[in-house]
Amino acid sequence: MTHRTIVLAFAALILALPRGGLAVGNYSVSKKVVEGHTTYHLLDAQRKMDFGIVPDIGNFAYQFKVNGKDVLITPESFTAYLDKHWFGWGIPFLAPYANRIDQDFYYFQGKKYLLNDALGNVLRVPPTKLPLHGLLVYDPRWEVVKTGGNDAEGAFITSRMEFYKYPDLMAQFPFAQVYEVTYRLKDGKLECTTKVSNVGKSPLPVHFGYHPYFHPDGPREAWTVGIGAQKHWLVNKALIPSGETEPTDKFLAGASTSFTLGKQFVDDGFSDFQRDTKGLGHVWTKGQTQKIEVVYGKEFDYAIVYAPLDNTLICIEPQTGPTNAFNLEHEGKFHGLIVLEPGKTFQATYWIIPRGF
Amino acid sequence: MAFYSVRKKEVEGHLTYHLLDPSRKMDFGLVPDIGNFGYEFKVNGKDALIPAPSFQTYLEAHRTSCGNPFLAPWANRIDRDYYYFQGKKYLLNEELGNLRRDQFKQAIHGLLCFESRWRVVKKGTSPQTGAFVTSRLEFHKYPDLAAQFPFAATYEVTHLMKDGQLEVTTEVANTGRSALPLMMAYHPYFRPDGPRDEWTLSLHARTHWLLNAKLVATGETEPARKFLPNARKFVLGKTFLDDEFSGLERDARGLARISIQGRTQKVEVVYGPEFDVAVVYAPLDKELICIEPQTGPTNCFNLHHDGKYPGLMVLDPGKTFKASFWIVPTGF
């Protein structure tokens, strides 16, 4: 390397370094305090994208703005989010179980584990009052371990939760594990990668989901939806899958390609994605001009689509395995439970691609 | 000149470790994969500990009345099927199959008596250090254990044979990010020579703990001399003992001593400062005496929660607790 190239390389390096939280390049990460919580924002200056995350409230993705418009439904406030225990905002992370468990206990490898209400971290919501959405939605103990912004990597943030170090979590789910979640803004897409490491010496049942809540433009009745999955899961009155499935288009004509939401209530699980050549599955919703696509990496083999009638929103949920996967597996109604061996790491990625904002 | 050694041998399909002191003809045997159980301690071919009849019998009987079992994360009884720590209620889960129950169906003796997942991590010998073996159990890495006691902890137990004594050192490392309630005990079972009625107990303790009908400490105490006036030199006779003592009298090094003397054989248990409670168990239907080093009174988690015991040991994140006791046999 000549002296001149060294100088040039050094100059390039200096230019690429972030200054005071603002990168010279297109991508950057900024930190700001909102309602007393440190938030991190992944920024794409060129596309006017701003994705906000609050690590100390369950690593909650609380906003995603494109051209000043909301791709995600932004919470009224963090206080409201924490007080109301409301699901309909941002992207909560649901683990170590997503959606419902049909009992106050669950089985794994023939052993029965109890959920303990006395610890105050088992979420339940009407009407079923079943344990719901895992233990981490409001957890303050996430730590940011890495952030960065550059052309090669986009803008990213990695947060970690050392689950096994907290007795209130381990009492409910005594499988030693560490979560690492990376959100990345790059090329106009929001990428979310979850890593679960089994740091124990016993197999770990893996189940988690994300609930990104969307509200595209135009009237709800006119929103179109495509669910690129072939099977629809039947549920009982408590919204627990029975293990039985039917073709998606039998459930809702055209649903696997495109249908108009109209007055249709949807709170349903789907599997067996039609995957593209990269192994990716696609579920999308489109309003007047705004379209949001959720792209499912192959580890997310289950989609729940939630579009209630009493609230103008649609949630397209990437989930690993069906709701109540542990007990379904125990009852022989599901055979695909993800089991992570000691020392191994499970990784799953999904993407949110907003267009027309 | 002692030539200490550590010898491995397989007994009934289990790998055992023996700490040997040939000059004193001492042989202490440990079986890591059965709860890191000290299963025999021979001196001149005689038993300082009551030996396990066989491993198979020990595992099948699921009763501790021989050797030196390690009891954690709680020793003796818990009065309910849950316990409190720092205001939170933790459940014991019968379905996992690793709880032991006493005659009143109370959970007893922790989770580790028959635990197979101990690993020997270090052993060694030298004239200076004696013969030792260190075993480790990464408690929080096993869901059946963590479900019952969800505090991330690693146990390391070192047995050391040196200068005619067996030293047992227990280290508990809090590998979590939350405080850890500490409790443990060992139950070394002795049967010195001569008739039981003539065995002489020597116990220097100020405080005797009152128990309820289910043998759980109530938190109330009385002077030990009121309960056992001649405890410093007490001939067992027909006295039944299953009692808990604290306020142990200690020497300048902080050590307390409780011993049982038979005709010629004497076994002394030396309590390091962290072992602040002694349970002495001498039943009438079996010829044995158990002199138990214990940290805190029986049922200390719930006693603490009920405001009846302020002294619960709490280990902060990143810290390691260390406690030693010694078994000193003479006249064998």
Q: CATH no. for residue B267?
A: 2.70.98.10
> For residue B2, what pLDDT is reported?
53
Q: How many CA atoms lie within 13 A of A45 on its CB side?
A: 12
> For residue A14, what pLDDT is reported?
47
> For residue A19, what pLDDT is reported?
44
Angle at the Cα of B319 from the Cα atoms of A342 and B309, rounded to 5 degrees: 110
Q: How far apart are the first and last CA of chain A?
A: 46
Which residues form the domain of B279? Answer: 5-330
Mean pLDDT of chain B: 96
Task: Tell me if A153 sits within 8 A of A313, measured CB to CB.
Answer: no
Q: pLDDT digit string (tens) for B251-275?
A: 999 999 999 999 999 999 999 999 9
- ipTM of the complex, rounded to two decimals: 0.93
Which residues of B are less than 8 Å from A169 in CB distance? 150
> For residue A237, what pLDDT is reported?
87
Interface of A with B in 148-177 (CB under 8 A): 162, 164-171, 174-176
Nearest CA in chain A to B153: A165
Nearest CA in chain B to A177: B141
Instruction: Select from B117, B142, B182 the residue whose CB has the most chain A CBs within 10 Å, as the one to mutate to test that interface.
Output: B142
Using a CB–CB cutoff of 8 Å, tell me whether A107 touches chain B.
Answer: no
Nearest CA in chain A to B145: A174
Longest dimension (CA), chain A: 74
Q: Is A167–B145 a contact, with Cβ atoms under 8 angstroms apart?
A: no
Which residues of B are less than 8 Å from A175 in CB distance? 143, 146
The conformation of residue A246, written as its DSSP 8-state character, comes to E
Interface residues from chain B to A (CB-CB < 8 Å)? 82, 85, 88-91, 93, 95-97, 117, 138, 140-147, 150-152, 175-178, 317
Nearest chain B CA: its distance from A311 CA (Å)? 37
Helix (H) or strand (E) holding A319: strand A314-319
Tell me the sheet residues that pair with B244: B209, B279
Residues in chain A with pLDDT values less than 50: 1-2, 7-8, 10-23
Hey, how many other C-beta atoms are within 10 angstroms of the C-beta on B185? 25
Residues 6+ apart with CB under 8 A from B194: B262, B263, B264, B265
* Of the partner residues B88, B97, B147, the one whose CB lies closest to the CB of residue A168: B88
> For residue B63, what pLDDT is reported?
79
Q: Is B144–A114 a contact, with Cβ atoms under 8 angstroms apart?
A: no
* The token pair that represents A2 in the structure block: 């000549």
Q: Which CATH code of 1.20.210.10, 3.20.20.140, 3.40.640.10, 2.70.98.10 fits the domain covering A19-355?
A: 2.70.98.10
Kindly state the percentage of chain B with pLDDT values over 70. Answer: 99
> For residue B133, what pLDDT is reported?
98
Residues 6+ apart with CB under 8 A from A306: A211, A266, A267, A314, A315, A317
**Is residue A260 classed as helix, strand or coil in its secondary structure?**
strand
Give chain A's radius of gyration (CA, Å): 21
Query: For chain A, which residues make up each domain, given as ranges?
Result: 19-355
d(CA B191, CA B194): 9
Q: Is A202–B177 a contact, with Cβ atoms under 8 angstroms apart?
A: no
> For residue A18, what pLDDT is reported?
46
Nearest chain B CA: its distance from A234 CA (Å)? 31
Q: Strand pairing of B189-190 and A69-70? A: unpaired
More confident call, B64 vs B1: B64
> For residue B281, what pLDDT is reported?
97
Instruction: Select from B80, B83, B91, B315 the residue whose CB has the most chain A CBs within 10 Å, as the one to mutate to test that interface.
Output: B91
Number of domains in chain B: 1
* Of the partner residues A119, A165, A199, the one whose CB lies closest to the CB of residue B177: A165
Hey, how many other C-beta atoms are within 10 angstroms of the C-beta on A287? 19
Using a CB–CB cutoff of 8 Å, tell me whether A313 touches chain B.
Answer: no
* The token pair that represents A350 in the structure block: 């999904």
Nearest chain B CA: its distance from A111 CA (Å)? 6
Task: Tell me if B171 sits within 8 A of B321, measured CB to CB.
Answer: yes
Q: Which amino acid is at B119?
A: R
Using a CB–CB cutoff of 8 Å, tell me whether A178 touches chain B.
Answer: no
Q: Strand pairing of B289-294 and B277-282? A: antiparallel
On the question of a cis peptide bond just before residue A127, with omega within 30 degrees of 0, the verdict is: yes
Using alpha carbons, list the distances in angstroms from residue B241 to A98, B125, B290: 53, 39, 10
The conformation of residue A163, written as its DSSP 8-state character, comes to G
d(CA A294, CA A350): 7
d(CA B158, CA B172): 12
Q: pLDDT digit string (tens) for B314-331?
A: 999 999 999 999 999 999
d(CA A196, CA A204): 10
Question: For residue B293, is pLDDT > 90?
Answer: yes
Using alpha carbons, list the distances in angstroms from residue B64 to A84, A296, B28, B166: 52, 55, 18, 20
**Is residue A330 classed as helix, strand or coil in its secondary structure?**
helix
Which residues of A are less than 8 Å from B147 in CB distance? 113-114, 170-171, 174
**Is residue A326 classed as helix, strand or coil in its secondary structure?**
helix
> For residue A89, what pLDDT is reported?
97
> For residue A23, what pLDDT is reported?
43
Q: How confident is the model at residue B42 (pLDDT cuts 50, 70, 90)?
A: very high
Instruction: Select from B177, B301, B314 the residue whose CB has the most chain A CBs within 10 Å, as the one to mutate to test that interface.
Output: B177
Closest alpha carbon to B38 in B286, B269, B278: B269
d(CA B95, CA B77): 18
Question: For residue B123, is pLDDT > 70?
Answer: yes
> For residue A316, what pLDDT is reported?
98
Closest alpha carbon to A324 in A103, A72, A14, A80: A103
For chain A, the residue count is 357
> For residue A349, what pLDDT is reported?
98
Question: For residue B74, is pLDDT > 70?
Answer: yes
Q: pLDDT digit string (tens) for A60-109?
A: 999 999 999 999 999 999 999 999 988 999 999 999 999 999 999 999 99
Per-residue three-class SS string for chain B: CCCCEEEEEEECCEEEEEEEEHHHCEEEEEECCCCCEEEEEEECCEECCCCCCCHHHHHHHCCCCCCECEEECCCCEECCCEEEECCEEEECCHHHCCCCECCCCCEECECCCCCCCCEEEEEEEECCCEEEEEEEEEHHHCHHHHCCCCCCEEEEEEEEEECCEEEEEEEEEECCCCCEEECCEECCEECCCCCHHHCEEEECEEEEEEECCCCCEEEEEEEHHHHCCCHHHEECCCCCEEEEEEEECCCCCCCEEEEEECCCCEEEEEECCCCCEEEEEECCCCCCEEEEEECCCCCHHHHHHCCCCCCCEEECCCCEEEEEEEEEEECC
Interface of A with B in 237-296 (CB under 8 A): none
